[in-house]
Structure 1
Amino acid sequence: MALIVLMEDDAATRTLVASVLRKDGYDVLSADNGLSGLALIRQNKPDLVISDVQMPVMDGFAMLQALRADPAIMAIPVVLLTSLQERAHMRIGMTSGADDYITKPFRPGELREAAAAQLNKRQMQAAVQTMAVEAAVQAALEDQKHHLSYLYEQKLASELSEKWPSADGTSDDEKFSNATVLFVDVLHYAALAEKLSSSELSDVVRQFYNNAGDTVHLFGAKHMQFVGEGLLVVFVDSTDTDSVNHGLRAARAALGLLDAARRVQKFIHSQFPTHRLPRFDVSVALNSGPVALAKLEDPLHGGMHILPVGDTVSATLLLQKQAYKAGWQIAASVAMLRGVTGGVTTGGRALVALPGRSAALDAAELLGLALQA
């Protein structure tokens, strides 16, 4: 049974949070200030700490600093509780070593998700280890050059296509309560199109999307399709991916797409050294939530087309555009990151305003995998 130490000076909030956590089966020890809470942590070595920021005697930031300075308890994850007015100060908490934060007022579901995500760290770190098998695949992708023979690429595509899902001829949509959506878009595409001929641009685009298709296939994508110059990919949990969840596989694919872009940049540099082209780069967004794969009949040409639909999909497309403006190569919603807690490393975090949506999306920059020794 997981043990949680809760620090909150407001008695009503403390009672509410403790009640929600105990209802989920956790043991909870409570304190009304940071100093008393720190003593409980040192005495009981809990699995998780949930702490308010503004408290008497010792506030949440001071408690966090003391916890991270103590080797005996420094590895315990910490979730901070903060009011809307304190949002500007949360960078201090995250920089000081907080693992997550929740803004008051919050829904019980948000609290449950944040607690479960932190307590899932050990399990997720084990899942990351299973990805060691993919190291050879990544090395092969990094070594892959534009001069690979057509025969080799055809053989690889044939092997990968055996795992690729196809329409079953029915009109039933596939619905997933939780999936991860990845959207990657080529930056500076208009500038490339202006300076290259159509055949030259075709070579460049083919270089990237051949690599991109291989990458998402290798990490077990359920569905992919082009959206303009971008590529939309859906990952779901399945039985043939060594139990690595869809979020972690999507994160791995996103990092692989950055590698693919770097290979294309080398190709451009070697093929068009005098064109003064903008750097070939991509921007990626990741988001998790409910997704439906709608099966649509083509009335003109016959056959079946699959279209990913839902708020998760539309939010991912919008997040990619806004994240690029913020300078993030890979942006991931906090909903997605909570599913891979302990498995990835992140950078900046912000509330990202999405055009046409009433609420901003809590997101962070994904930097890499948190591979453990």
Structure 2
Amino acid sequence: MPLIVLMEDDAATRTLVSSVLRKDGYEVLSADNGLTGLELVRQHKPDLVISDVQMPTMDGFAMLQALRGDPSIMATPVVLLTSLQERAHMRIGMTSGADDYITKPFRPGELREAASAQLNKRNMQAALQTMAVEAAVQAALEDQKHHLARLYEKKLASELSEKWPAADGASEDERFSNATVLFVDVLNYASLAEKLSSAELSDVVRQFYNNAGDTVHLFGARHMQFVGEGLLVVFVDSTDTSSVNHGLRAARAALGLLDSAKRVQKFLNHHFPAHGLPRFDVSVALNSGPVALAKLEDPLRGGMQVLPVGDTVSATLLLQKQAHRANWQIAASVAMLRGVTGAVNIGGRALVSLPGRTAALDAAELLGLALQS
């Protein structure tokens, strides 16, 4: 049964709206001001909020601003109730993040239609999103695996040489005012290396990074490179998948990487059942902000290499280490989550202290794509 939180200071209107909604099968919690209503939203995580604009203590606009600023509830759809003389405020409400509005006095049918439209829209978006992700990941694994395998093996061999390029070519750097950086690292790598031969470990690493490379390439990665046993990926909006923002594509890729790790675990169970291996797990960090792709000349091997640089990149690497200690499989900075409002579900949130940095990073655990229960 969908849950709706109603905020309305007029008792008669509050009773009318509650009665109409309950008759249609919705569960309704009501409050007579925005502050109390906001606390109900935080406690109960409703499917929809219906709020009057003019209320004591906290009006509808202030409530809406606070709701959109809270990552745990920011994706909740909001319908505002406005009187005829407040029509000038409609534009303010919509630009502040409201999903719809109803003008008082309204008919019960208008209320039903507005509530149904928001709930149906959420259901449809979640269903389409899930279908698209599942189909895309499967297509990537089937159609692109062989095409990309040689590229990833070459990158892996290059990173293992641990030879840093010389600094030059700054004039050719690519700079992005906002990009999403993904860093995934293999947990228990040292334990795997201790129990497997170099040839066996190479097969395991190749199993994961072939699949991982397919996944991030599918979701429009602008740049990929290996950092030790980890993979660093940059997503920007200047790709052929610009219809979906870089943050959401990075989130989808991160979830795909967890699936890739599960496939590698099945591979280990099948090929090395008697080795007593630790579980094959990965942890992922996501962060958004300015990123530069520095083009550097390599005097040892010739040609140019690309190195992602900037505070966003370094913070992502540090966040992955700290998130693993917090048992978060996918950690995402709040800066990244603001770009995917309503599209993902998050768990715990914390100010994460990063070694060598004076300020903590506001981050949360990314659990999955937003689905309507």
TM over 0.5, shorter chain = yes
Structure 2 equivalent of residue 135 of structure 1: 134
Checking the alignment, whether the CA contact within 8 Å between 1:78 and 1:99 is kept in structure 2 is: no
Of structures 1 and 2, the larger Rg is shown by 2
**Amino acid corresponding to residue 321 of structure 2 in structure 1:** K
Moved more, 238-247 or 310-319: 238-247
Displacement after TM superposition at 1:135 (Å): 2.9
Q: Is the 8 A contact 2:74 2:342 kept in 1?
A: no
Work out whether 1:364 is the aligned partner of 2:368.
Answer: no
Contact between 1:215 and 1:253, CA under 8 Å: does it hold in 2?
yes
The letter for the 2-side match of 1:154 is H
Identity of aligned residues (%): 65
1:268/1:72 CA distance change after superposition, 3 Å? closer
Please tell me whether the aligned partners of residues 117 and 339 of structure 1 are also in contact (alpha carbons under 8 angstroms): no
Q: 1:73 aligns with which of 42, 49, 60?
A: 49
Q: Which residue of 1 aligns with 2:279?
A: 279
Q: Distance in 2 between matches of 1:335 and 1:305?
A: 28
Task: Please tell me the residue identity of whatever aligns with 2:39.
Answer: L
Q: How many residues align?
A: 286
Q: Tell me the alpha carbon deviations over residues 272-315 of structure 1, each in whole angstroms, 9 at most, x when there is no partner.
A: 00011100000000000000000000112210000000000000
- Cα contact 1:180–1:286 (8 A) shared by 2: yes
In angstroms, what is the RMSD of aligned CA positions?
4.1
Kept in 1: contact 2:75–2:343 (CA 8 A):
no
**Distance in 1 of aligned mates of 2:364 and 2:95:** 19
Shifted more, 68-77 versus 184-193: the winner is 68-77
Distance 1:72 1:204, change over 3 A: closer
Unaligned runs of 5+ in 1: 1-34, 46-56, 82-89, 101-114, 161-168
Amino acid at match of 1:241: T
The structural deviation recorded for 1:210 is: 0.5
Task: Output the amino acid matched with 1:39.
Answer: D
Specify the alignment match of 1:297 in structure 2: 297
SS at match of 1:192: helix
For 1:154 and 1:69, the matched residues in 2 are separated by 44
For 2:354 and 2:245, how far apart are their aligned partners in 1?
A: 27
Which residue of structure 1 aligns with residue 39 of structure 2?
Answer: 64
Q: How does 1:79-118 map to 2 (within 5 A)?
A: 80=66, 97=73
Q: Counterpart in 1 of 2:265? A: 265
The residue that corresponds to 2:9 in the other structure is 39
Give, in whole Å, the separation in 2 of the partners of 1:210 and 1:138: 13
| Equivalence for 2:111 | none
Question: Judging changes above 3 Å, is the alpha-carbon distance between structure 1 residues 264 and 171 closer, same or farther for their aligned structure 2 residues?
Answer: same
Counterpart mapping for 1:290-329 below 5 A? 290-329=290-329
> C-alpha displacement at 1:345, in angstroms?
0.6
Contact 1:215 / 1:257 at 8 angstroms: preserved in 2?
yes
Unaligned runs of 5+ in 2: 1-5, 18-31, 52-59, 77-93, 101-117, 153-168
Is the partner of 1:351 in helix, strand or coil? Answer: strand
How many Å apart are 1:171 and its aligned residue?
A: 4.6
Q: Within 5 A, what are the aligned runs for 1:199-214?
A: 199-214=199-214
Preserved CA contact (<8 Å) 1:331 1:366 = yes
The match for 1:253 is: 253
Q: Which residue of 1 aligns with 2:180?
A: 180
